[in-house]
Amino acid sequence: MTSPEPNDPTANDAREARLSEADRRVLDRLADHGFDPACLDGLSISDRLRGERILGQLGLLDAYPDEIGDDLAELRRDRDLIRANKRP
């Protein structure tokens, strides 16, 4: 089996996602400071931008529903309402 080419759009499936050394350094700093954006003050512009990007990506996790049970219950209610409306 051959390795996918780096520019191959399907290569993401075959490769492990990795952080750059700079990303790891800034992510560690954020984690050490409780993900407080104020800890980015005093860093270089590139590291501040890197930190803001990381915080933005982590913010997506905050918006992700964490109660699957509630979502499933809502889907079941909707399904039951649809079935009830289709009954003669």
Domain around 69: 11-86
Mean pLDDT of 39-48: 96
What does each C-alpha distance from 57 to 21, 53, 66 come to in angstroms?
Answer: 17, 6, 16
Q: What global pTM score does this model have?
A: 0.55
Query: Is 6 part of any domain?
Result: no
- In the chain, the number of structural domains is 1
Query: Is 1 part of any domain?
Result: no
Give the pLDDT confidence score for residue 61 in this predicted structure.
Answer: 77
Distance CA 2, CA 10 (A): 13
Query: Is 3 part of any domain?
Result: no
Q: Give tens-digit pLDDT for 56-86.
A: 998 887 776 655 555 666 666 666 656 666 6
Query: Is 63 part of any domain?
Result: yes
DSSP state string for 4-19: PPTT-TTHHHHS----
Number of other CB atoms surrounding residue 23 within 10 Å: 15
